[in-house]
Amino acid sequence: MITWAINHAVLAGFNLINSRIDAYRILKHKNIAHCINLSAYALVVAFLIWRQHPTGLSEILDSINFGLAAFFNRQLSFDIPLNLRRGLPWDYQSTAPKPKAVMDRIERAIFGNLPGKWIAAIYAGSFIICTLIKLFFL
């Protein structure tokens, strides 16, 4: 469980750095390399999973659970700091009819116009559920 916490702290740190870079680029009216951001994050997550050398069913299920938790971690530790750094409310959601970011489009399709506070609560609750699964079952 200690490794779980350390790995998620590493991911949160990665997300904080990335959110600062993206906020800077947005405020300077430069494009964001969403594909590069996703690829870099996926590589970090894959590396953290690979370090555990998942071979058995339990370890593979643990890796899937970690990957889900990493996704929820990303939504919280990237989006909120990005919004704050840009001078927006912490729970800001894009109001564009068709947001540029694919994840924003997916969120819009899933959550509709649900307030950002509720979306953040869903991500936080999902992260907690993944953590409880790790703690009690894996």
- Token pair 């990665």 is found at 14
pLDDT at 98 (0 to 100): 86
Structure tokens at 29: 């009216």
Would the pTM count as exceeding 0.85? yes
DSSP notation for 46-86: HHHHHHT---SHHHHHHHHHHHHHHHHHHHHHTHHHHHHHT
Read off the pLDDT of each residue in 24-37 and give the average, rounded to a whole number.
91
The helix (run of H) or strand (run of E) holding residue 92 is none
pLDDT at 100 (0 to 100): 81
Dump pLDDT digits (tens) for 66-93: 999 999 999 999 999 999 999 999 999 8
Where are the domains positioned within the chain? Answer: 2-137
Dump pLDDT digits (tens) for 98-130: 888 888 899 999 998 889 999 999 999 999 999
